[in-house]
Structure 1
Amino acid sequence: MGLKSKYRQWRVARADNDRAKSMQGRQSVALGFAWRAANIGGVRRHLECIEKYSQHAVALYPSTPSHDFLKTRDERSQYHADLGDPLIDRHSLFHSHVDPDFIAIAQRAQQAGKAWVHTYHALYFAEDYGGKLKAWQEKTNHALLNHAAKADVRICVSPWLAGYLLDQHRIETVVIPNAVDVSFCDGIRAKTQDGARINTVVFVGSNDEVKNPSAFIEVARRLPELQFSMVGTGLTRGNFEERYCVEVPLNVQPLGPLSHEATLELLSRCSTLVMTSHREGLPTVLLEAMAMEKPCVAPRSYGCADVIGSEEFGFLYEPNNLEDLKCKIGQSVKLGRMPRARRRVVDSFSWPVVAKQLDDIYSGLLSSSTRF
């Protein structure tokens, strides 16, 4: 790490440490750690919305002003190390999510008498990644299954994952779903309502096998009369063809990664969102598209089926059945809007609803806490 990099890391850690000091002596919640890049960062946005909608004093680490200041993996790892222990004396409740470093901090805080909440968003399964996980995925799974399981309250964002954790690992959780910032989606819709509708079918994900982008390519090949767009990391024509050894048809436009706002602008103008994932926790992009009344097509499988629920709110196809997927896409593009899908999201998956459930847990733990 160079001198400039060390100074940048020190400056950010000091700023967030000063913020933590200002909260010492009163009940507060620490959230962390979460980072985002390009269109990636569903957990980061999840934490930002907890900070935005919670009625408690909540501090997100790294703070939003500090987030973009740390550029490299080494800087971020050092930030975790520098900021960790000082947080324990300055917050009364710790809410961990995915990051193993923050799980370790929360566990040390619990040992010091502080309350600890953990949310399970997903696990990594070898069969979704070519039969072998990377070292960082193994490390994350180990932290989730062996350390986060000791939290005072364990939350799971989807019913299927809660069932898996209980059946396979004897980890009991309470289900509080992932959520979407409907007001932000409404702002995007208002911004783009004067723009021309794009008659394209959209996929948002990555070129990872768990997202199953090859199924999207194959169904596009069977629907040459429609236009398709792909958004996400690694989703360029060259990258996709090199990884999957499959030619991308001319009616597919791989756009690569877009910002969150640009992705939502595309969703607000498209005809349909299609998901082909083998497995999801509780997919935020599906909730966002439904909040904008978009017809959505997704597999009747882990995560996606929990969001859509029934065909009153979207289209579910049988996994690995390309003909069924083709049929459902054909039906979906004939619809302009699905208002009932939006109503489902507003009633069950919007942040004011979900934040209230989290606040009830925070309040219960903080009221019984003997230490600030």
Structure 2
Amino acid sequence: MYLQRRVVFNWFKKLKKEQPQVYIGANILKLNGVDFHIHAIHKNSNLSTTLVPPDAILKKISMDVFLRDYIQELQVPGTAVLHSHVYPKYILWCQEQRAKNNNLKWIHTYHLHYFKEHTGKDLLNWQKEFNRVFVEEASKADVKISVSKWQQKFYKEKFNIDTIYIPNGVDVAQCDKADAHYFQEKYHLSNYILNVSRHDPVKNPGEFVMLAKSMPEHNFVIIGSEFSELLFQEHYHIIPPKNLKIFGKMSQIEVQHAIAACRCLISTAKKEGLPTLVLEGMAHSKPVVVSNEPGSMEAIDNGAYGYFYELGNMEDLKGKTLLAINDNTIGSKARQRVLGEYDWKVVIKKLEKMYLENYETISKD
């Protein structure tokens, strides 16, 4: 406990000395879209930013412990912009800090509301609480951002919350570092159809396994934390076919190697904000096939830059997959869309403009 406190309070001292312009949180240091998003802001911004908490602290304690034991002791020195994402305790901290300090501005980004698709039935209590905080508390931020146009419309029509559209981004530079040959040689795999997912009702990985069973003449690969043959048998009641290779958790760069080596990328998700994985597939110039949920449809512009199928319709999924693996042009078109709209080099300029406008407003006051 003493060592934990020393690490945290040394960081507090560093903040007082350096006085970063933007505080971005809550950082969780996990392989998911929101974490990629906030790390990309920190990495690409030319402004002075800090993650809350920084990666170095999360290697010592969990985000939950930090938010439970230390967040209330964090006082922001000087003028700054607070930028909240997803996690209620950090959102509430931003709200409290903003209310008592006129030298701060607060920006909140909406990534994805929780829907029944996240559970297949009623939302869990913690999901209901997240939604409540999104609507009742995050809506009090000085600036609200939505990562997708469909969600911008949803929050306005459902809750009368006005948001500015600044899309989720993709790290094209990292995608371009991927080595298809490395993945092919290491795992002796090539010419395969890929899905990267997780064991979660909203990600719907079972539908991809069923696709593999329906196309025995093709090779399939699925990557995701907790995935195993036993998991699919016990939780999804599917016996994975022999033409499907199952991988557990992989690093972000390993996933990029896998995408670079694949024939096409499939997303079977039931609900997305603006899916990082789909954008990564497009950045790799790969044909993508997505379910007809709104976030994925927005990424491919309703079929202009990828294929979509009716969620739950296996024949439609199979048909669109066959079209995708034989399409030699749509992947390059998709990459151009990403470069113009979703590359972090483009997205960060929009965010920095927002940061500076708010930061300079404080300075003038």
Residue aligning to 2:60: 69
Alpha-carbon deviations, 1:332-354, whole Å to 9, x = none? 22245721111110110011111
Q: Is 2:59 aligned against 1:47?
A: no
After the TM superposition, which of the residue ranges 339-348 and 206-215 deviates more from structure 2?
A: 206-215
Code of the residue aligned with 1:187 in structure 2: it is K
1:230-249 superposed matches below 5 A: 230-249=222-241
Code of the residue aligned with 2:83 in structure 1: it is H
Counterpart contact for 1:230–1:252, Cα < 8 Å: yes
Alpha-carbon deviations, 1:156-198, whole Å to 9, x = none? 0011111111111111101110001111111124884995772
Counterpart contact for 1:128–1:210, Cα < 8 Å: yes
1:297-316 superposed matches below 5 A: 297-316=289-308
Code of the residue aligned with 1:273 in structure 2: it is L
Residue aligning to 2:344: 351
1:261-272 superposed matches below 5 A: 261-272=253-264
Code of the residue aligned with 1:19 in structure 2: it is K
Partner-residue secondary structure (3-state), 1:366: helix
Code of the residue aligned with 1:340 in structure 2: it is K
Q: Distance in 1 between matches of 2:3 and 2:257?
A: 33
Q: Is 2:212 aligned against 1:220?
A: yes
Alpha-carbon offset, residue 56 of structure 1? 1.7
Q: Distance in 1 between matches of 2:147 and 2:286?
A: 23
CA 235–116 in structure 1, closer or farther in 2 if over 3 Å, else same: same
Alpha-carbon deviations, 1:276-307, whole Å to 9, x = none? 11110111011111111111110222100111
Alpha-carbon deviations, 1:303-344, whole Å to 9, x = none? 001111144421122222211110111122224572111111
| Residue of structure 1 aligned with 2:81, choices 71, 90, 93 | 93
Code of the residue aligned with 2:29 in structure 1: it is R
1:30-179 superposed matches below 5 A: 30-37=23-30, 40-70=31-61, 72=62, 76-78=64-66, 81-90=69-78, 92-111=80-99, 112-113=101-102, 114-179=104-169
Q: Distance in 1 between matches of 2:10 and 2:328?
A: 48
Code of the residue aligned with 1:297 in structure 2: it is V
Partner-residue secondary structure (3-state), 1:233: coil
Counterpart contact for 1:50–1:355, Cα < 8 Å: yes
CA 197–91 in structure 1, closer or farther in 2 if over 3 Å, else same: farther
Q: Distance in 2 between matches of 1:365 and 1:81?
A: 30
> Unpaired segments of 5 or more residues in structure 1?
1-5
Code of the residue aligned with 2:24 in structure 1: it is L
Code of the residue aligned with 2:347 in structure 1: it is V
Q: Which 4+ runs in 1 deviate beyond 3 A?
A: 78-81, 189-197
Residue aligning to 1:320: 312
Q: Distance in 2 between matches of 1:267 and 1:228?
A: 12
CA 281–246 in structure 1, closer or farther in 2 if over 3 Å, else same: same
Q: Distance in 2 between matches of 1:371 and 1:68?
A: 39
Q: Is 2:283 aligned against 1:291?
A: yes
Q: Distance in 1 between matches of 2:291 and 2:250?
A: 24
CA 191–117 in structure 1, closer or farther in 2 if over 3 Å, else same: farther
Alpha-carbon offset, residue 63 of structure 1? 1.6
1:15-26 superposed matches below 5 A: 15-24=10-19
Alpha-carbon offset, residue 254 of structure 1? 2.1
Q: Distance in 2 between matches of 1:191 and 1:109?
A: 50
Counterpart contact for 2:29–2:55, Cα < 8 Å: no
After the TM superposition, which of the residue ranges 84-93 and 281-290 deviates more from structure 2?
A: 84-93
Q: Distance in 2 between matches of 1:28 and 1:229?
A: 43
Q: Distance in 1 between matches of 2:207 and 2:45?
A: 39
Alpha-carbon offset, residue 223 of structure 1? 0.6
After the TM superposition, which of the residue ranges 339-348 and 256-265 deviates more from structure 2?
A: 256-265
TM-score normalised over the length of structure 2: 0.92
CA 10–194 in structure 1, closer or farther in 2 if over 3 Å, else same: same
Alpha-carbon offset, residue 85 of structure 1? 4.0
Number of matched pairs: 360
Q: Distance in 2 between matches of 1:187 and 1:322?
A: 34
After the TM superposition, which of the residue ranges 322-331 and 183-192 deviates more from structure 2?
A: 183-192
Residue aligning to 1:3: none
CA 339–77 in structure 1, closer or farther in 2 if over 3 Å, else same: same
> Unpaired segments of 5 or more residues in structure 2?
none
| Residue of structure 2 aligned with 1:210, choices 183, 202, 205 | 202
| Residue of structure 2 aligned with 1:340, choices 333, 336, 342 | 333
Question: Superposition RMSD on alpha carbons, in Å?
Answer: 2.2
